[in-house]
């Protein structure tokens, strides 16, 4: 690296006022960055000497807004963090509140949540991996797997009514049970998806061009990754087997048997591989969850906590208690205990943490989101230094940066 950094391609006259490097403004809107990211690059020929990322283009002050909202109205804010896998954010938030309130979920709710979270993990990883393909010049796989992302969204649609920003579930469970159509779609997805993923793998995994482009692009070693507080697939690609689902199991993840794939070099190819393997693990987890659900009462989909869980609308119009609880919850009159809670879930990008401080009022006193994207993006300049400009693009897409999560 040092040699390439000192070798300058442009030779200037001694008295020239020009500089030997070129400043390139990559972004904020650039077709290769998939989101609002700006990087001011200092390049020498094709080599990147320095990068200065500027972020905050879609900052929406969620933490401030949350200080004025009742707890259940914060769920739609979390949708808009990592919008490729909103259900994980929604449920992470619900579990944080449940931890604060001391609610315990029935096993069936846990398993249903696991199914939804793993589906969204697949959707997220599909987007990331196929986009790495696009950035290396392989558009086919992207178009192909997006059909399966669409089918995951159809399942979400059956479960909660919306697709991208899902607002799925409620504090205290899910807002409705899975419909027969949802189960059918889930079964069909589990039947068709493995073959499609295998076919997608044949397009890229051992593809000469893809390997040449991604191996060695944007590497980071385990020690630096830990020092930079990396989590999720990007940390695991560097060889550290840290996964919140295993280390601090939530939503009954301890009942499931799955592997944590790890890489060795932490480059774009390893990140791709880790995400790829994780999709297989997610399929495995969903299958196990379906098995486990067979023994459980199929009518349970929320905890018995009327003071926090919104009653069904039909009850609100016909039953006095339901009306009272509904009014209290909607007006934010429920008793929230004061306390501090940190809860984290394994988001598609890493450890998504919620640090909630309640002073007993209707909204949080302070809510902080630990957004994995925001934390690992700061290593980006170090990862691309000395590499080619085209590697920087690959490094960025393989990190799976989501602007919504980055800027909160």
Q: How far is the CB of 312 from other proteins (least distance, A)?
A: 26
* 361 binds other proteins, rule: CB under 8 A: no
Q: Which of 141, 281, 377, 384 binds other proteins (CB under 8 A)?
A: 377
Helix (H, G, I), strand (E, B) or coil at 339: strand
- Which of residues 65, 211, 260, 290 is near other proteins by CB under 8 A? 65
By CB under 8 A, is residue 362 in contact with other proteins?
A: no
- When asked if residue 330 is in the footprint of other proteins (CB under 8 A), the reply is no
366 lies in the binding site for other proteins (CB under 8 A):
yes
Q: Do 387 and 214 meet the contact criterion of CB atoms below 8 Å apart?
A: no
Closest contact distance (angstroms) between CB of 197 and other proteins is 30
Query: Token pair of 294, please?
Result: 């067979």
User: What are the distances in angstroms from CA 371 to CA 250, 376, 407?
Assistant: 18, 9, 9
Q: Do residues 316 and 53 lie in contact, with contact meaning Cβ atoms separated by under 8 Å?
A: no
- Identity of the residue, 107 or 368, whose beta carbon is nearer to other proteins in the bound complex: 368
Q: Smallest distance from the beta carbon of 357 to other proteins, in angstroms?
A: 7
Using a 10 angstrom Cβ sphere, with 0-12 exposed, 13-18 middle and 19 or more buried, the burial of residue 15 is exposed
Cα(135)–Cα(117) distance, integer angstroms: 27
Q: Does 340 bind other proteins (CB under 8 A)?
A: yes
Question: Using the rule CB under 8 A, which residue among 28, 216, 332, 339 binds other proteins?
Answer: 339
**Facing residues of 339 across strands?**
358
Cβ(276)–Cβ(263) below 8 Å: no
Of residues 87 through 116, those in contact with other proteins by CB under 8 A are 99-100
Residue 317 sits in the site that holds other proteins (CB under 8 A): no
Which residue number, 67 or 315, has a Cβ lying nearer to other proteins?
A: 67
Span near other proteins by CB under 8 A; candidates 83-91, 186-194, 228-236, 293-301 = 228-236
311: DSSP letter: P
* Residue 341 touching other proteins (CB under 8 A): yes
Instruction: Output the smallest distance, CB 370 to other proteins, in A.
Output: 4
Adjacent-strand bridge partners of 44 = 47
Nearer to other proteins (CB atom), residue 174 or residue 352: 352
Q: Where in 6-83 does DSSP place strands (E)? A: 22-26, 38-44, 47-54
- CA-closest candidate to residue 113, choices 165, 58, 195, 175: 175
Instruction: Assess contact for 76 and 58: CB atoms under 8 A.
Output: no
Is 64 an interacting residue with respect to other proteins (CB under 8 A)?
A: yes
How many residues belong to the site for other proteins (CB under 8 A)?
42
Q: Read off the DSSP letter of residue 166.
A: -
Is residue 407 within the footprint of other proteins (CB under 8 A)?
yes
Torsion of CA 98, 102, 106, 107, to 10 degrees: 80
User: According to the binding rule CB under 8 A, does residue 67 interact with other proteins?
Assistant: yes
Q: Which residues bind other proteins (CB under 8 A)?
A: 55-56, 59, 61, 63-65, 67-68, 99-100, 224, 226-230, 240, 242, 247-248, 339-342, 344, 351, 353, 355, 357, 365-366, 368, 370, 374-379, 407-408
């Amino acid at each position: 690296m040092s040699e390439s950094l000192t070798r300058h391609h442009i030779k200037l006259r001694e008295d020239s006022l020009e500089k030997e490097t070129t400043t390139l403004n990559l972004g904020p809107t650039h077709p290769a960055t998939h989101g609002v990211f700006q990087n001011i690059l200092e390049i020498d020929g094709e080599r990147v000497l320095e990068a200065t990322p500027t972020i905050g283009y879609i900052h929406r002050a969620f933490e401030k807004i949350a200080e004025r909202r009742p707890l259940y109205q914060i769920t739609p804010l979390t949708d808009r963090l990592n919008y490729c896998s909103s259900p994980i954010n929604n449920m992470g938030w619900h579990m944080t509140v449940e931890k604060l309130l001391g609610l315990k979920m029935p096993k069936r709710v846990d398993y249903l949540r696991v199914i939804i979270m793993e589906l969204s993990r697949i959707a997220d990883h599909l987007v990331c991996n196929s986009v790495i393909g696009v950035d290396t010049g392989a558009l086919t796989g992207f178009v192909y797997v997006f059909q399966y992302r669409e089918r995951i969204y159809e399942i979400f649609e059956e479960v909660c009514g919306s697709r991208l920003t899902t607002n799925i579930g409620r504090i205290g469970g899910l807002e409705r049970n899975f419909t027969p159509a949802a189960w059918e779609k889930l079964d069909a997805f589990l039947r068709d998806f493995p073959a499609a993923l295998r076919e997608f793998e044949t397009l890229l995994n051992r593809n000469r061009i893809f390997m040449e482009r991604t191996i060695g692009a944007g590497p980071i070693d385990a020690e630096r990754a830990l020092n930079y507080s990396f989590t999720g697939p990007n940390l695991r690609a560097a060889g550290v087997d840290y996964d919140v689902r295993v280390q601090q199991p939530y939503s009954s993840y301890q009942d499931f048997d799955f592997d944590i794939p790890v890489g060795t070099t932490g480059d774009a190819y390893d990140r791709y591989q880790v995400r790829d393997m994780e999709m297989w693990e997610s399929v495995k987890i969903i299958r196990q969850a379906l098995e486990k659900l067979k023994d459980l009462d199929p009518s349970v989909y929320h905890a018995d906590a009327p003071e926090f869980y919104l009653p069904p609308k039909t009850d609100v119009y016909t039953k006095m208690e339901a009306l009272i609880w509904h009014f209290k919850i909607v007006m934010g009159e429920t008793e929230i205990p004061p306390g501090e809670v940190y809860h984290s879930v394994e988001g598609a990008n890493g450890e998504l943490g919620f640090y909630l401080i309640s002073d007993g009022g209707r909204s949080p006193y302070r809510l902080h989101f630990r957004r994995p994207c925001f934390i690992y993006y700061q290593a980006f300049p170090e990862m691309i230094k000395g590499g080619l400009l085209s590697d920087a693009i690959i490094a960025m897409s393989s990190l799976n940066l989501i602007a919504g999560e980055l800027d909160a």
